[in-house]
């Protein structure tokens, strides 16, 4: 496997993932490990959302339940829209922050 990132770019990550799956396929494809894979996938999704600035909805629900039990929490779609609007405000037609 060639790890020269400058020459191959993003395909290195794909090769690493493929190599990991092929070397661990007896563990990955075992039904007893599927719940662990599901948890890993959920944690990866949370990490990617945090990388782009979208907080975790589950943590928001826990916070609302602990600190504001009298208020009704936003649903998931409204929560994510609120987070994006807070990060990239565009009211009045002028965008102050670039989403790029």
Rounded Cα distance, 34 and 28, in Å: 7
pLDDT tens digits, one per residue of 79-98: 988 888 887 776 665 555 55
Is 100 a residue whose pLDDT tops 50? Answer: no
Q: What is the pTM of this model?
A: 0.49
Residues 55, 60, 66: CA angle, nearest 5 degrees: 150
Q: Which two tokens stand for residue 9?
A: 């770019």
**H or E stretch covering 95:** none
| Size of the chain, expressed as the number of residues it contains | 100
Is 11 a residue whose pLDDT tops 90? Answer: no
pLDDT tens digits, one per residue of 18-57: 787 778 777 767 777 788 888 888 888 888 878 877 788 8
Q: So what's the pLDDT on residue 63?
A: 92
Q: So what's the pLDDT on residue 76?
A: 92
Identify the CA nearest to 62 among candidates 75, 73, 70: 73
Please state the domain extents for the chain. Answer: 53-99
The DSSP line for 12-52 is HHHHHHHHHHHHTHHHHT-GGGHHHHHHHHHHHHHHHHHHT
């Amino acid at each position: 496997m060639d790890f020269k990132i400058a020459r191959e770019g993003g395909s290195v990550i794909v090769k690493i993932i493929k190599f990991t799956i092929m070397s661990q396929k007896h563990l990955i494809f075992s039904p007893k490990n599927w719940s662990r894979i599901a948890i890993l996938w959920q944690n990866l999704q949370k990490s990617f959302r945090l990388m782009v600035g979208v907080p975790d909805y589950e943590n928001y629900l826990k916070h609302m339940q602990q600190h504001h039990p009298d208020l009704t929490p936003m649903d998931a779609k409204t929560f994510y829209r609120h987070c994006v609007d807070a990060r990239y405000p565009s009211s009045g037609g002028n965008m102050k922050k670039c989403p790029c």
